[in-house]
Structure 1
Amino acid sequence: MAMEAVRRRKPHRIQIFKDIGSRAFMITASCSFMLLLLLWSLLSYTEAVNPVFLPKPHVVLATFIELLGSSDYWNHIGVSLFRVMSGFLLACILGIPIGILAGTFKFGEALVEPPMEFIRYMPAVAFIPLIMVWAGIGEWAKVLLIFIGCFFQLVLMVADNTRRVSQDLLQASFTLGAGRWKAIETVLIPGIQPQLMHTMRLILGWAWTYLVVAELVAVNSGLGYAIMKAQRFLNTEEIFVGIFVIGLLGLISDRIFAFLNRRLFPWV
Structure 2
Amino acid sequence: MQTTTAMKSNVEASASASAPAIAARRRRPIAPLEPVSNRARWVLGIGFFVLFIALWAVATLGGFVKPTFLASPVTMVKEGWLLFTEYNFIHDIGMTVWRVFGGFVLAAVVAVPLGIAMGAWKPVEAFFEPFVSFCRYLPASAFIPLLILWAGIGEAQKLLVIFIGSVFQIILMVAVIVGGARKDLVEAAYTLGANSSGIVKRVLIPGAAPGIAETLRLVLGWAWTYVIVAELIGSSSGIGHMITDSQALLNTGQIIFGIIVIGVIGLVSDFAFKALNRRLFAWSTI
TM category, shorter: over 0.9
Query: Is there any run of 5+ residues in structure 1 with no aligned partner, and where?
Result: none
2:55 corresponds to which residue?
39
| Greater Rg over alpha carbons, structure | 2
Query: Is there any run of 5+ residues in structure 2 with no aligned partner, and where?
Result: 1-17
Amino acid at match of 1:108: V
Say yes or no: does 1:8 pair with 2:23: yes
2:167 corresponds to which residue?
151
Q: Secondary structure at the match of 2:88?
A: helix
2:96 corresponds to which residue?
80
1:117 Cα deviation from its structure 2 partner: 0.9
Native 8 Å contact 1:169 1:187 kept in 2:
yes
Amino acid at match of 1:241: F
Amino acid at match of 2:176: D
* Cα RMSD, aligned residues only: 1.7
Amino acid at match of 1:37: I
Native 8 Å contact 1:141 1:217 kept in 2:
no
Say yes or no: does 1:190 pair with 2:175: no
Native 8 Å contact 1:142 1:217 kept in 2:
no
- How does the TM-score come out when normalised to structure 2? 0.89
Q: Provide Cα deviations, 1:190-227, integer angstroms capped at 9, x if missing partner.
A: 11111111100001000001111011231111110000
Q: Secondary structure at the match of 1:69?
A: helix
Q: Secondary structure at the match of 1:134?
A: helix
Native 8 Å contact 1:215 1:222 kept in 2:
yes
Say yes or no: does 1:109 pair with 2:125: yes
Native 8 Å contact 1:13 1:20 kept in 2:
no
Q: For this pair of structures, how many residues does the alignment match?
A: 267
Pick one of 113, 128, 131 that aligns with 1:97.
Answer: 113
Partners in 1 of 2:47 and 2:132 — Cα distance?
A: 41
Say yes or no: does 1:166 pair with 2:182: yes
Amino acid at match of 1:69: T
Identify if the C-alpha distance between structure 1 residues 64 and 164 changes in structure 2 by more than 3 Å, giving closer, same or farther: same
- How does the TM-score come out when normalised to structure 1? 0.95
Amino acid at match of 1:213: V
1:204 corresponds to which residue?
220
Identify if the C-alpha distance between structure 1 residues 4 and 217 changes in structure 2 by more than 3 Å, giving closer, same or farther: closer
Identify if the C-alpha distance between structure 1 residues 113 and 46 changes in structure 2 by more than 3 Å, giving closer, same or farther: same
Q: Secondary structure at the match of 1:47?
A: coil
1:136 Cα deviation from its structure 2 partner: 1.6
Partners in 2 of 1:204 and 1:172 — Cα distance?
A: 35
Identify if the C-alpha distance between structure 1 residues 239 and 180 changes in structure 2 by more than 3 Å, giving closer, same or farther: same
Native 8 Å contact 1:55 1:237 kept in 2:
yes
1:243 corresponds to which residue?
259
Partners in 2 of 1:118 and 1:192 — Cα distance?
A: 25
Q: Secondary structure at the match of 1:49?
A: coil
Partners in 2 of 1:58 and 1:216 — Cα distance?
A: 27
Say yes or no: does 1:59 pair with 2:71: no
Partners in 2 of 1:188 and 1:90 — Cα distance?
A: 23
Partners in 1 of 2:215 and 2:205 — Cα distance?
A: 14
Identify if the C-alpha distance between structure 1 residues 71 and 177 changes in structure 2 by more than 3 Å, giving closer, same or farther: farther
Identity %: 42
Moved more, 196-205 or 52-61: 52-61
Pick one of 133, 136, 145 that aligns with 1:120.
Answer: 136
